Amino acid sequence: MSGNGILNPNIVQPFASTFQILSAYPFVTTRKDLAQSEYLQGKQDWYHFNNVWAYNYTISTLNGASGQKKYAPYYFITNEEKVSYIRGQALHIAAYSTIATTGIFNNIS
């Protein structure tokens, strides 16, 4: 269960290798005028994106290996969680715009 009493459908443990991929892109911000609260929120959004991306990468790999859609992509429990993911994705693209053109930070489903 999630903290709000809703059953969490995200039950697959992401592969450790997905975090190795993401470790090549550490948290950085392109803005220098952030208040501490904005910086901390950005960092939280960054790592939330990493966790969802890792989960979906794992699901995509498992589904591809089995040849069927056995597992569903990450399910956002709340709208705030989805918004955090979107903000984290935007931060990744802003920080690593060159690599972002390859599609590495695209949604995986």
- What integer pLDDT is reported at residue 109 of this predicted model? 52
- What integer pLDDT is reported at residue 1 of this predicted model? 46
CA 69 to chain centre: 20
The answer to whether residue 6 scores a pLDDT higher than 90 is: no
CB 50: neighbour CB atoms within 10 A? Answer: 21
pTM of the complete model: 0.84
Supply the DSSP string of the chain, one letter for each residue: --TTS------PPPPHHHHHHHTTS----S-S---HHHHHHHHHHHHHHHHHHHHHHHHHHHHHHHTS--SPPP--SSHHHHHHHHHHHHHHHHHTHHHHTTTTTS---
Q: What is the pLDDT of residues 70-92, one digit of tens each?
A: 888 999 999 999 999 999 999 99
- Phi, psi angle pair for 103, to nearest 5°: 95, 5
- What integer pLDDT is reported at residue 8 of this predicted model? 63
Q: What is the pLDDT of residues 28-69, one digit of tens each?
A: 887 889 899 999 999 999 999 999 999 999 999 988 877 778
